[in-house]
Amino acid sequence: MFFAPLNLATKYNYLDEKFQAAYKWLAETDLGNTPVGSYPVCEGVTANVQEYTTFPASEGSFETHDKFFDIQYVISGKEQFGYCKREGLVLKEEQPENDLKFYQEPALSGTVLLLPGDLIVVAPEDAHKPRCCADGPEFVRKVVVKVKV
């Protein structure tokens, strides 16, 4: 699945060498046995293996990044992943040292159900709300690959 407004589909090359390196790392790494932590993939690409328990969407916030794309890949478990366009959101909190901005809940947004083996690529123009439970809290093991813009 590839989901983007047409202007972003032509702005970014989701198959350039940094993305290809990230996809290859995800495909060739034994993710079930890779410890939680951060792993350099290549220049400008870092994979972060995470584990957590999902929570109700009402407890989370939409977030964005200015300097990185996120490739979020579910190893095990499932989560309801929130999505909306960044434009027009009201900023709630900013953590520039982490390239992270949080927003007030928008009037309209959507979600994608991420199952084991699914990935979603989030551009800087996209707001996303990860870690939301699908049908109740669940343990999730996931990799978030950061790809420098």
Rounded to two decimals, the pTM is: 0.93
Give the pLDDT of the chain (149 residues) as one tens digit per residue: 567 777 777 888 888 999 999 999 999 999 999 999 999 999 999 999 999 999 999 999 999 999 999 999 999 999 999 999 999 999 999 999 999 999 999 999 999 999 999 999 999 999 999 999 999 999 999 999 999 99
What does the pLDDT read at residue 15?
Answer: 87
User: Coil, helix or strand for 42?
Assistant: strand
What does the pLDDT read at residue 99?
Answer: 96
Place of tokens 């960044």: 86
Query: Rounded distance, CA 60 to CA 78, Å?
Result: 16
Query: Rounded distance, CA 146 to CA 44, Å?
Result: 8
Of 37, 31, 57, the C-alpha closest to 113 is 57
Query: Rounded distance, CA 85 to CA 109, Å?
Result: 8
Q: Is the dihedral of CA 62, 89, 109, 122 positive or negative?
A: negative
What does the pLDDT read at residue 43?
Answer: 97
55 Cβ contact list (under 8 Å, min separation 6): 131, 132, 133, 137
Query: Rounded distance, CA 18 to CA 149, Å?
Result: 10
